Structure 1
Amino acid sequence: MTDKMTDHQNRQFRLAHRPVGPVRREDFTFRVDPARAPEAGEIMVAVEYISLDPAMRGWMNEGRSYIKPVGIGEVMRAGALGTVVESRAAGFSPGDVVTGALGVQSVATLAAKDCVKVDAGLAPKPLFLSALGMPGMTAYFGLLAVGEPKPGETVVVSAAAGAVGALVGQIAKIKGCHVVGLAGGAAKCRYIVDELGFDAAIDYKSEPVPARLRETCPKGIDVYFDNVGGQILDDCLAQINLRARIVICGAISQYNNTTPVKGPSNYLALLVNRARMQGMIVFDYAERYAEGAQAMAGWLAAGRLKSREDIVDGLETFPDTLQKLFTGENFGKLILKV
């Protein structure tokens, strides 16, 4: 515990408008305010790294979802990592490194129960927002608990060079599967094959996806891990096997639509093949995060799993840096360094 501090200035982005189509800088207000001193049960955290995720686009929309939307005028929601600078909560002391929904800001004051302490001596801090954080848990539970891959099966993953997709493909390889990734551009395709060990890559920007799926998945598709939705989901549904499992993790191709989301036209393939398509939200597995983190840390330590972070300096760059997710510019996990 420490005495209250009043000299912390909090740089923050607040949601000013609900975006229509792609997010613009004008959709946020940048402010500098005195940081709020913690009350009983709360901690003040100096934010160091902020996780930028496609889900943030959905959080800006009004409407029913798995989590309430960010309110107009509220600090933009984001997972982040930082160091405790002041504590009024048992079990937390200045110097502790924590992760939680700290928001797009330089100082966060929040309930200690909403944060998790991490051992920053075990791995570089950004890894706790990547393979050892929400993307890692999404990949681990989405593939293993929902996709249920078996050795020898064919697993296809979209956005395969992204934070979640890259981990999904590697876990599938660890589990003995034939793994094909879809990514945009030759550099990303080389990366997932040459560095991550995927069996094949399909460049959806320059190659005919249906033909390449038939070529790279000669036995059909047993598990499709979908991060993009749209036409690629349809292309994969057309080639699924009997009792295939389709994991719906995200639909980044649809997030900036100004028209209704395009659903799959090949959905009858689910009926014909008695297949299962299931949505996956990582928060549903919160009670099992320790299990996932232990497995992921073991694979990282053994060199069986690689994690790549795309770190951009400067909190003030947030609105522009966020766009990298939707233009396909980022390689690996996109993180903002405060």
Structure 2
Amino acid sequence: MQNNRRFLLARRPVGTPVPEDFHLVQEEIPAPPPGGFVIRNHFASLDPAQRGWMDDAPSYMPPIPLGQPVRATTVGVVYASDNPDFRPGQWVMGMNALEDYSVSAPGGFTMPIDVSTVDSPSRYLSAMGAVGLTGYFGLLEVAKPQPGETLLVSGAAGAVGSVVGQIGKIAGLRTVGIAGGAEKCRRLIEDYGFDAAIDYKGKTVEALAAEIRTVIPDGANIIFENVGGDVMDAELLNLARKARIVLCGLISEYNAPEKIGIRNLWQVLAQEATVYGYLIMDFAPRFAEAGAVMAEWMAQGRLRVDEDLQHGLENTYDAFMRLFTGANTGKLVLQIA
């Protein structure tokens, strides 16, 4: 590799991103800054949150500057270094960008990883990365489940949702997943061990709410929300008293020029429910602890984490859009090297 390809944000998308919103450019490989190092990225995480970072709007992270590469968590190898703690050839994970080579300055978020413990370094972007750990901490630490409770998961066939459902079973919960299409609902039961699956496709809020009610007539004790919009409105009509709602994502809204909002919020008051706005970064100091548990569960066959591996930085746009068409079949990972 004699140059550095970079997937730049050329303009801010309006609604669904189009190819013209991005540029793939080639630049020289950067040199490490004083005390820093350069990473050769091998794998990059593609996540719905990246769509929000493309907007010039307040969020938990600053907008991606125009003309800069799209921010992404990556796994790679130290290529060149001016830092004795990061040696060339060492595997690392951190918040970098969709590019061949990323510069990491002192004090950044990059950390060494031990790839000898996993079947692929990409596992640090799925089961043992932010996606898997989002499910782990969001359910066990935020929702605080009790055995015998009912867990309702939206976007249940997605990377986070499928992990949440499986951890729910480990925690002794009855798990119900909402997904789009018969095939995804089949996977919820056969691949991820959900107790029940509900297809939201083609249903009004009222019809979806009624179907949820037939499956969980006493309501959900925990809702793990990844979708928002009409799906969340139907879920809110099926709350158990004192329910906990973990608000992890709102993917139905990310490409909407005008936000839909929630129309059945009154049910939170009526059922004395609690809504938790949840970000995984609060648990960063405990990633190693949780990653070890996730690895043990996978080794025991109690946890299945699928990866949808796409190839080539030149195919980034098509790969990224799989998140919004529902084409991805697991944690979406782009293999760069």
Q: How does 1:115-126 map to 2 (within 5 A)?
A: 115-123=110-118, 124-126=120-122
Cα separation, 1, equivalents of 2:217 and 2:295: 33
CA contact (8 A) 1:35 1:109 kept: no
Q: Which amino acid aligns with 1:229?
A: G
* SS of match in other structure, 2:115: coil
Q: Which amino acid aligns with 2:192?
A: L
Which of 310, 313, 321 is the matching residue for 1:312?
A: 310
Deviation of 1:217 after TM superposition, in Å, equals 1.3
- Residue 114 of structure 1 is matched in structure 2 by 109
Cα separation, 2, equivalents of 1:295 and 1:9: 39
Deviation of 1:219 after TM superposition, in Å, equals 2.5
Q: How does 1:1-338 map to 2 (within 5 A)?
A: 8-111=2-105, 113-123=108-118, 124-206=120-202, 208-259=207-258, 261-338=259-336
Cα separation, 2, equivalents of 1:210 and 1:185: 17
Q: Which moved more, 1:18-27 or 1:295-304?
A: 295-304
Cα separation, 1, equivalents of 2:57 and 2:311: 33
Q: Which amino acid aligns with 2:162?
A: A
- Residue 4 of structure 1 is matched in structure 2 by none
Q: Which amino acid aligns with 1:74?
A: Q
Cα separation, 2, equivalents of 1:288 and 1:226: 23
CA contact (8 A) 1:180 1:198 kept: yes
Q: Which amino acid aligns with 2:111?
A: V
CA contact (8 A) 1:15 1:74 kept: yes
* SS of match in other structure, 2:142: helix
Cα separation, 1, equivalents of 2:35 and 2:284: 21
Cα separation, 1, equivalents of 2:291 and 2:35: 26
Cα separation, 1, equivalents of 2:121 and 2:156: 23
Deviation of 1:49 after TM superposition, in Å, equals 0.7
CA contact (8 A) 1:185 1:206 kept: no
Cα separation, 1, equivalents of 2:202 and 2:140: 31
Q: Which moved more, 1:225-234 or 1:35-44?
A: 35-44
* SS of match in other structure, 1:235: helix
* SS of match in other structure, 2:71: coil
Deviation of 1:114 after TM superposition, in Å, equals 2.2
TM-score using structure 2 length? 0.96
Deviation of 1:69 after TM superposition, in Å, equals 0.6
RMSD in angstroms over aligned alpha carbons?
1.2
Deviation of 1:206 after TM superposition, in Å, equals 4.7
Q: Which moved more, 1:163-172 or 1:265-274?
A: 265-274
Deviation of 1:40 after TM superposition, in Å, equals 2.0
Deviation of 1:8 after TM superposition, in Å, equals 4.1
Q: Which amino acid aligns with 2:284?
A: A
CA contact (8 A) 1:81 1:129 kept: yes
Cα separation, 2, equivalents of 1:100 and 1:135: 14
Q: Which moved more, 1:17-26 or 1:85-94?
A: 85-94
CA contact (8 A) 1:161 1:191 kept: yes
- Residue 3 of structure 1 is matched in structure 2 by none
* SS of match in other structure, 1:108: strand
Task: Determine what percentage of the aligned residue pairs are the same residue.
Answer: 43
CA contact (8 A) 1:12 1:32 kept: yes
Cα separation, 2, equivalents of 1:202 and 1:79: 32
CA deviation map 1:74-105 (0-9, x unaligned): 11101111111111112111111111112100
Cα separation, 2, equivalents of 1:295 and 1:66: 28
Cα separation, 2, equivalents of 1:286 and 1:145: 13
* SS of match in other structure, 1:142: helix
Gaps of 5+ in 1: 1-6
Cα separation, 2, equivalents of 1:63 and 1:254: 14
Q: Which amino acid aligns with 1:219?
A: D
